[in-house]
Amino acid sequence: MARWFVDRLPQQGIPSVSLRRLLPEAKFLGCQDWEVSGCTADSRRLDPGQVFVAVRGSERDGHEFVTQALERGAAGVVVERPCPEAGRLQVIVPDSREALARLCHALAGDPSDQLLTVGVTGTWGRTVTSLFLRAIFEATGVRFGLVGSLGWSDGVSTRSVSSTFPGAESLATMLSDMVEHGCRGGVVEVPPEALRDRHVEGIRFDVALATDSGSVGGLDSEIIRMRRQSKARLFRKVVPGGISIVSADDPLIEPLGAVNLDTRRISFGLERDADVTAEIERLDTTGVRFLLRGFDREASIHLRLPGKTYVSQALAAAAVAWSQGVNVDAVVAGLESVSGIPGRLESLIEGQDFSVWIDQARTGTDLQQALEAVRRLGTGQVHCILGAEGLRDRSERLALAYAAEHGADRVILTDDNPRTEDPNQILDDLLAGFRRPGRVRVESNRQFAIESTLASTSPGDVVLIAGKGARTYQILADHVIQFDDKQIASNWLRNDRLRFRRTSA
């Protein structure tokens, strides 16, 4: 976005917004209103004349940097509590994160008002569903933007993103660029933490979609309840007359369709009656062929992604298209154009007589879905190589263990990204989630865990290497090393497999 400035009176030629109108619940000290033309929550990036918004983070509190912001030329501050060091110009708000997001989008011209804005949340399948959605709309001949975990697009070019969801300032810029490049709409992949941290405040969603509830065996019921409450926040943000789309197959997520009574509820599903449904005709390692139902006519689709779960995600995207009156031919073309997702059930084929799959599953739900998918693609045992992230929700490790024990025949626990957490503690936490931990093999060296598992397979077996997906690094306590699951497995299959077989014989 452009450089912005702030004053009590709008400066000629520079867009500005009234904080009194934008934040009616705020308490103003030193003035009745501000006309703001620029803001930031990072005191290091503040330009003279901007307003500084003090946001409390997980590690540092922005209120600690009020003095620094003023020294850099801030015209005033937006805070959650009175700050004597801030002087006479202060705006006190209940939630500065929410205030920052509203302000950023208002200064960007409220771009979501000019787009068909679709929010996609869920624990599993957000990324794939978002890619399907964008492909469908672009198959109609329009430009469609995307903000997702694999990158963001303004309808013309695609750029990479960090591992965390963009903050309010970046998100406002992304949506503004979509408008500038003539996009008809945009898909925003909304993880639970983005809703929790108020990053999507200020966005007017026309459609909200939840892929799943995030419930999986091994998780405490309170965690499941909190996940559902988080997803409900997105549905409450849908504009009157908008659309709420839920899975009829997930009884815990289906009630979200009634969270916002000013919207129209639309359902998708494979197992139960829904507005948009499908019948699977064939499923193999090349993908899935199914009949799409719910449009003006039945349509045959060959999805080039293996696994039943991808059909559910395709139906979710098709339900959005159905709600917007998109022609079924565009739906077919869009879904069939998606040929692969980096790090999502990527198959490694090097002439071996067993199958190897790479998947970035990092939650219990992710792993459960991935194991269910690969189980159908082999005739022998399922081997699962699994780790857990350090400095992350420890309760998720129990869900990972539960999914692995119930979905795999052999489980090999290893390191993932321990960060500064004790790797042995992470492995102990995972082991605690198994009812029969004695049947689990532990090998902390990830490369050896992968290679030894591949060496112990039989014809027809399936190996799932879970956790990293397309990520090619490992984060240790004090440094980061290059580590690519796909490369390590491929090298062994190409160079060591035949030698190992000969030696074994």
pLDDT at 243: 98
- Angle at the Cα of 215 (from 223 to 355), degrees rounded to 5? 130
417: left (phi over 0), alpha (psi -120 to 50) or beta: beta
The domains found in the chain, sorted by start residue, are 6-107 (3.40.1390.10), 111-337 (3.40.1190.10), 346-504 (3.90.190.20)
Does 219 have pLDDT greater than 60? no
pLDDT at 217: 53
Q: Which two tokens stand for residue 78?
A: 């937006």
pLDDT at 9: 38
Question: How many CB atoms are located within 10 Å of the residue 21 CB?
Answer: 9
CA distance 117 to 437: 46
Does 329 have pLDDT greater than 90? yes
Does 505 have pLDDT greater than 70? no
41-60 residue pLDDT tens: 999 989 888 899 999 887 78
Q: Are strands 39-40 and 51-53 parallel, antiparallel or unpaired?
A: parallel
On whether the CB atoms of residues 326 and 140 are closer than 8 A, the answer is yes
Confidence of residue 339 (pLDDT cuts 50, 70, 90): confident
pTM of this prediction? 0.79
Confidence of residue 1 (pLDDT cuts 50, 70, 90): very low
For 462-481, give the DSSP string.
Answer: EEEEES-TT--EEE-SS-EE
pLDDT at 85: 86
pLDDT at 404: 96
User: Which of 64-68, 175-179, 188-192, 343-347 has the highest average model confidence (pLDDT)?
Assistant: 175-179
Rounded to the nearest 10°, the torsion over CA 238, 241, 242, 243 is 120
The size of the chain, in residues, is 505
For 126-150, give the DSSP string.
Answer: HHHHHHHHHHHHHHTT--EEEEETT
Mean pLDDT value across residues 88-115: 93
Mean pLDDT value across residues 329-339: 96
436-453 residue pLDDT tens: 988 899 999 999 999 999
**317-342 as b/e: b if 16+ CB within 10 A:** bbbbbbbbebebebbbbbbbebeebe
CA distance 441 to 438: 8
pLDDT at 66: 93
**235-263 as b/e: b if 16+ CB within 10 A:** bebbbeebbbbbbbbbebbbebbebbeeb
Which residue type occupies 155?
G
Which segment of 11-25, 26-40, 171-185, 272-286 scores lowest on mean pLDDT?
11-25
Confidence of residue 149 (pLDDT cuts 50, 70, 90): confident
CA distance 168 to 171: 5
224-281 residue pLDDT tens: 677 778 888 999 999 999 999 999 998 888 888 888 999 999 999 999 999 999 999 9
CA distance 391 to 294: 44
pLDDT at 220: 62
Mean pLDDT value across residues 331-357: 91
CA distance 354 to 123: 30
122: left (phi over 0), alpha (psi -120 to 50) or beta: left
Q: Give just the sign of the alpha carbon dihedral 254, 267, 124, 410.
A: positive
Does 502 have pLDDT greater than 70? no
Confidence of residue 496 (pLDDT cuts 50, 70, 90): confident
Residues 6+ positions from 98 with CB-CB distance below 8 Å: 198, 201
CA distance 105 to 169: 8
CA distance 397 to 407: 15
What percent of the chain clears pLDDT 90, i.e. is strictly above it?
A: 64
66-82 residue pLDDT tens: 999 999 999 889 999 99
Beta strand ranges found along 135-258 (DSSP E): 144-148, 151-153, 158-159, 185-189, 205-210, 238-247
Does 335 have pLDDT greater than 80? yes
Q: What is the mean pLDDT of the chain?
A: 89
Does 13 have pLDDT greater than 50? no
More confident residue, 464 or 4: 464
494 DSSP 8-state letter = I
On whether the CB atoms of residues 410 and 354 are closer than 8 A, the answer is no
pLDDT at 215: 60
CA–CA distances in Å: residue 433 to residues 247, 376, 429:
29, 25, 7
Does 3 have pLDDT greater than 50? no
Does 2 have pLDDT greater than 60? no
pLDDT at 216: 56
Does 5 have pLDDT greater than 50? no
Mean pLDDT value across residues 485-501: 84
pLDDT at 499: 64
pLDDT at 10: 39
Identify which of 84, 86, 94 has the alpha carbon closest to the alpha carbon of residue 68.
86
Q: Which two tokens stand for residue 130?
A: 């978002």
Confidence of residue 223 (pLDDT cuts 50, 70, 90): low
115 DSSP 8-state letter = S
